[in-house]
Chains A and B, each alone.
Chain A
Amino acid sequence: MKRNTKIKIAYISGYALFLIVSFIFGFNPGKEIGYNFISFLVYMLKILPCAFILIGLFEVWVKKEVIETFR
C-alpha cells in the first residue's frame, strides 16, 4: 500500500509539473489538457460534497442490521 501511495504521489505531482511548465512556456496541448482537467474538477467538486455528506448521514442514521436483513 505504501509503495502504491508513493507511485500515486509521483505521477500526480508529475502531471501537476507538466501543467505548470506548459502554462509557463505556453505549450498549447498542455494548456488545453489543463483547461480540460480544471473544468472537470470544478464540475465534480460541485456535486461530490453533497453526495458524500448524504452517504455519511445514511451511515449514521441507518443501522447496519437493517441493511443486513435485506441481504
Chain B
Amino acid sequence: MYYTYAITGLTLIISLIVNREKTLKAVKIAITKFTKIFPAFLTMLIFVSFILFLFPDEVISNYLKYSSKSISVFLASLFGSITIMPGFIAFPLSGILLTKGVPYMVLSAFTTTLMMVGVLTYPIEKVYFGTKVTIIRNIISFFIALSVAAMTGIFFGEIF
C-alpha cells in the first residue's frame, strides 16, 4: 500500500520537474476519468454491500470450504460471464471477496470471465466484430479463463 503511494508520489514529482504543463494535464485527465467511473463504482459498492449482508462472511467461506473447488470455479466463471465489467470494477470487487476468504482460483476465474466474456454485451459486440467473431471470441475467452484459473490454482497451491 505504502509502496503505491511512494511510487505515485515519486513519478508525480519527477514529472512535475520535467514538465509542469504535462503533469497538470495528467492530473486533469485523472480527475475526469475518476468522475466518469465513479457512478459505476458506487453502484457496484451498493450491490456488494447488499449482497454481502444477505450472504455474510461465514456463509461464503463455509460454502467454499465444504463444496468442491472445481464447482466453485465453474460457478464463478458463469457469474463472471453474465456481463463485461472494466478492471476498475472487477479488481476492487475481487479484493473485497478475497478478504472474505474466497480462494484465489475462484477469484481468478471470476475476474477473467468478468473482463473477457459477456453474454449481455453480445448485441453491442456483434455490431463491431460481427456475429461469428463475437461468438468464437467469447467461447475461447471462457476456456482461457478456465485455464487461467487452473494455473492460478496450481501456482497458489490450491489444487494438488
* Tally of chain A residues near chain B (CB < 8 A): 29
- Within 8 Å of chain B (Cβ to Cβ): is A52? yes
Task: Identify whether the interface residues of B are mostly helix, strand, loop, or mixed.
Answer: helix
What bracket does the count of chain B residues touching chain A fall in?
A: 20 to 34
Query: Are B45 and A40 touching (Cβ within 8 A)?
Result: yes
- Within 8 Å of chain B (Cβ to Cβ): is A26? no
Closest chain A residue to B46 by CB distance?
A15
Task: Give the residues in chain B near A12, CB-CB below 8 Å.
Answer: 39, 42-43, 46
Query: Are B49 and A33 touching (Cβ within 8 A)?
Result: yes
- B residues sitting closer than 8 Å to A (CB atoms) are 1, 4-5, 7-8, 11-12, 15, 22-23, 25-31, 33-34, 39, 41-43, 45-46, 48-50, 52-53, 88, 92, 95-96
Nearest 8 A-B pairs (CB), nearest first? A56-B30, A56-B26, A37-B49, A56-B29, A52-B30, A36-B49, A60-B26, A50-B8
Besides the contacts A44-B92, A56-B29, A60-B23, what 12 more A-B pairs have beta carbons closer than 8 Å? A15-B46, A33-B50, A40-B45, A41-B45, A47-B4, A48-B34, A52-B30, A53-B8, A53-B30, A56-B28, A56-B33, A57-B12
- A residues sitting closer than 8 Å to B (CB atoms) are 8, 11-12, 15, 29, 32-34, 36-37, 40-41, 43-44, 46-57, 59-61
